[in-house]
Amino acid sequence: MAKIKTTFYCQNCGSQYSKWQGQCTACKEWNTIAEEVLQTPEKSDWKSPASASVKRAAKPLLINEIDASQDARIDVVDLEFNRVLGGGLVPGSLTLLGGEPGIGKSTLLLQMALRLPYKTLYVSGEESQKQIKMRAERINPVASNCYILTETKTQNIFKQIEDLQPDVVVVDSIQTLHSDYIESSAGSISQIKECTTELIKFAKETATPVILVGHITKDGHIAGPKILEHMVDTVLQFEGDRNHVFRILRANKNRFGSTNELGIYEMQGAGLREVSNPSEILISRKDDELSGNAVAATLEGMRPLMIEVQALVSTAVYGTPQRSATGFNAKRLNMLLAVLEKRAGFRLGAKDVFLNITGGITVDDPAIDLAVVAAILSSNEDEALPKDYCFAAEVGLSGEIRPVQRVEQRILEAEKLGFSTIFVSKYNKISLKKTAIKIQLLSKIEDLVGFIV
Ligand code: TYD
Ligand code: MG
C-alpha cells in the first residue's frame, strides 16, 4: 500500500506547510495549523479522465476577435438578485453566497431555482429531499424545472450532471462536499480547495453558472481558505439581523458588475419578498410628531434610501453619562456630541445619549450626520421636527456642514416620497431646476439650530 501523504494547512489562511508549527508564518495566528491527508492518484478532473483527454488546448486570440455575445446573462427572475449580480447570472461563472446560519441563504437560492424557467439542479448536502420539498411548498413554486439532489461526493454529483445536463447548478454548501481525490474530511481546507477547483473547471468548460453556498466563521468571514474568494468570480454576502425582517444582499466581489449595488428582502412566512422601495418601510410614518426623530437621505450602494434616526437625550442618573448607538458608529456619535457642545453651546456632557437607526440597518454613509445631530437636538429640546423634513450632509469637526456625494439623487428620492424640505450643505453643487421640495442650504451647525430650536 502506498504511503499516505499528509500535509499541514493553516485553518485560518490556507497556507501550506510540510511540518507542524505553532504559529502560522503567513497570518500570524497561533494553533491554527492542522494535518490533512492528501492524495492525488491522478490529475483531478470533473469528468472521467478519458473524456478529459480529448479536451482541446486553448489558443491565444486577438481581443477583438473574442466573441463576448454568448455571455448573455441569465435572468434569475428576481429584480434584487439580478441587480446585485450586475444584470443576471453570467454563463460559466462561479458565485459564492455567504451568510450567517439561518439568515436565508438556502431559501434565497431555492426560491431562485423554483422560479427559473431553465433546468436547474439544486444539490444539497445539508437537507434531505423531503425537507427541501417542504420548504419549496411554503415558498409556493411557480414553475418546476428544478431538480433536487442530495449528495456530497463531487464525482457522483458530476455524474448526475452529465446525465441531466442542467442549465444552472446550485450547491448548498461547499463545506459539505468532498472529493475522492483527497482523503481529508469534508469542510477541511484541502477539500474545499479541491471541490471548488473541480466546480470551476466544470463551470468554465460547460458555460454553466454555478452558485455555491459558503458558511461563515464566527467573525463573519467565509469559512475555508481566503483563496476560495479569489477563485470564484463573485462573492455575495447575505446579511441582516436575524431578529429583524430585513435581509440585505450585497456583492463583496464581482468580476461582472459593480460591488456598489445591494438588494433588500423581507423574510416572510412564504419565503423572501423583494423590497423594491425600502424607504417606505424604513420610515415609520406616525400620525403625531415625536421629538428625537429625524429622517436621513442616505445612499446604500447606488440606491437612495431614506432612513429614520431616533435619539433619546436624558439627564444622566449615574455619574458617567451613557452613550450608546445601534446601527451607527459610537465614536462618530461622541464626535458629533463634542461638536454640538463646542460649536453650538449645548451642554450634553452630563446627559445620556442613545441613538438608534430603525430597521436594524447599519449605516456608514457620512451623510447621515446631519440627521443624527437634528435628532439629538430635537430630543434634547423635546421639540418634534416637522415630519416632512429630511437631512443629507456630513458634519465636520469645526461644525461646518459638508457636502455629500450624489446629493441630487437624494433630493429626488426625498421629493418622490413627499418630503417638503431637505437640508443639505451650501457647498453642494446642485443643478436641479424646479423641485417641489424645498432645498435648504446650511453652512454651519448654528444654521441648523436656528431651524430646529
Ligand atoms: P435558511 O434559508 O434555512 O437559512 P440558511 O440556509 O442561511 O441557514 O433560512 C431559515 C430561516 O428562514 C428560518 O429561521 C426560517 C425562516 N423562513 C421563513 O421565515 N419563511 C420561509 O418561508 C422560509 C423558507 C424560511
Ligand atoms: Mg441552509
Q: Give the closest ligand to the alpha carbon of residue 109.
A: 1
Site to probe by mutation for ligand 1, drawn from 106, 107, 139, 175 as the one with most ligand atoms within 8 Å of Cβ, is 107
- Nearest atom in ligand 1 to 269's CA: 20
- CA 195 to mean position of chain CA atoms: 24
- Nearest atom in ligand 1 to 139's CA: 22
- Nearest atom in ligand 1 to 110's CA: 2
Per-residue pLDDT at 426? 94
Q: Which of 39, 40, 10 is nearest to 27 (CA)?
A: 10
Query: Is the distance from CB of 442 to CB of 369 less than 8 angstroms?
Result: no
Phi, psi angle pair for 193, to nearest 5°:
-60, -50
Q: Which residues surround ligand 1 with Cβ inside 6 Å?
A: 99, 101-107, 135, 138-139, 267, 269-271
Per-residue pLDDT at 159? 93
Per-residue pLDDT at 43? 52
Average pLDDT across the chain, whole number: 86
From atom 14 of ligand 1, which residue's Cα is the shortest distance away? 102
* Residue range 38-78, pLDDT digits in tens: 755 555 556 654 444 444 567 788 888 877 665 688 999 89
Per-residue pLDDT at 69? 65
From atom 12 of ligand 1, which residue's Cα is the shortest distance away? 104
Residue ranges of E strands in 110-223: 120-124, 146-150, 168-172, 210-214
Burial 120-156 (b: 16+ CB within 10 A, else e): bbbbbbebeeeebeebbeebebeeebbebbbbbebbe
3: enclosing H helix or E strand: none
Site to probe by mutation for ligand 1, drawn from 105, 131, 267 as the one with most ligand atoms within 8 Å of Cβ, is 267
Phi, psi angle pair for 65, to nearest 5°:
-90, -10
- The strand order across the sheet containing 234-239 reads 146-150, 120-124, 168-172, 210-214, 94-99, 234-239, 246-254, 262-268, 271-274
- Nearest atom in ligand 1 to 172's CA: 6
pTM equals 0.73
* Residue range 407-451, pLDDT digits in tens: 998 998 888 888 899 999 999 888 888 888 999 999 999 999 888
Distance CA 333, CA 373 (A): 9
Q: Give the closest ligand to the alpha carbon of residue 242.
A: 1
pLDDT in tens, the chain (453 residues): 556 678 888 887 778 888 889 998 888 888 888 888 775 555 555 665 444 444 456 778 888 887 766 568 899 989 999 989 988 999 999 999 998 888 999 999 999 999 898 999 999 999 999 999 989 988 876 667 899 999 999 999 999 999 999 999 999 989 999 998 888 888 888 899 999 999 999 999 999 999 999 988 777 677 777 778 899 999 999 987 656 778 889 888 999 888 777 788 988 888 899 987 777 666 766 667 789 999 999 987 777 888 899 999 999 888 889 999 998 999 999 999 999 999 988 888 889 999 998 877 788 899 999 999 999 999 999 999 988 899 999 999 999 999 999 999 899 888 888 889 999 999 988 888 888 899 999 999 999 988 876
